[in-house]
Amino acid sequence: MKILAVSDQVVDRLYTVSVRDRFGDVDLIVGCGDLPYFYLEFLTTILDRPLYYVHGNHDRSVEFTAEGARQVTAAGCEPLGDRSVVVEGLILAGLDGSIRYNNEGSYQFTQSAMNRKAFWLSLRLLANQRRYGRGLDILVTHSPPYGVGDGPDYAHIGFRAINTLIRRFRPRYLLHGHQHVYRGRRPGTAVGATQVLNVFPYRVIDWDKGDVE
């Protein structure tokens, strides 16, 4: 299985119909937040593959129209925040958002609030362990774990709850965004059995071979 993971920035080479020429063999698309919904909708439509995504701190949950407020989501895509799903035999789970650094946006959380969200998610992962013999294969987040690929400024500090989840459930990959890296690819960081990957602005993961592009 090949996975196309995207985050934080619209990439011109992906936002074109020719994306099928290079990425037409992917089986799954994962969004790690802070991407316009039209971009996610385009990718799942053109590549004709399922897309699961978490929200970033800049994403909106509500927009206001002449008819009033309405919920907004990426059409044809599946939100993954606070959920666990099985896709082509892989167990995915997700957590939205970043650390709370101002009073704007729906997807900013304190460390305590994320601890609570992670606790409820862990109950779902324990149910997975009973049913499938393992709790999780890929954890999808917007923010990185605390102290692992996060930033020095407060707005980009990672969540401690993510560290706890990966230590407890040992997914093969944690895919995140939020921390922009413009000079070359940041290599993955091993945290126990988990490879922590910053996917900004996109990465391709070959699950069967264990390769990351």
Q: Give the tens place of pLDDT for each residue, 133-183.
A: 999 999 999 999 999 988 889 999 999 999 999 999 999 999 999 998 866
Domain count, the chain: 1
What would the mean pLDDT of 98-105 be, rounded to a whole number?
90
For residue 205, with 0-12 CB atoms within 10 Å meaning exposed, 13-18 middle and 19 or more buried, which class applies? buried
DSSP-derived pairing of the beta strands 78-79 and 108-109: unpaired
Q: How do residues 87-96 score in pLDDT, each as one tens digit? A: 999 999 999 9
Per-residue pLDDT tens digits for 29-64: 999 999 999 999 999 999 999 999 999 998 887 655
Radius of gyration over every alpha carbon of the chain, rounded to an integer in angstroms: 16
pLDDT exceeds 80 at position 6: yes
> Coil, helix or strand for 77?
coil
For residue 126, the enclosing domain spans: 2-212
pLDDT (average), residues 78-100: 97
pLDDT at 185: 58
Query: Dmax of the chain from CA atoms?
Result: 51
71 has a pLDDT exceeding 70: no
Instruction: Write the CATH number for 129.
Output: 3.60.21.10
Identify the pLDDT of residue 73: 84
Distance CA 183, CA 186 (A): 8
**Strand locations in 75-157 (E):** 78-79, 84-87, 90-95, 98-99, 108-109, 138-141
Distance CA 52, CA 61 (A): 16
> pTM for the complete prediction?
0.94
Q: Which residues contact 169 (CB under 8 A, 6 or more apart)?
A: 122, 125, 129, 134, 135, 136, 139
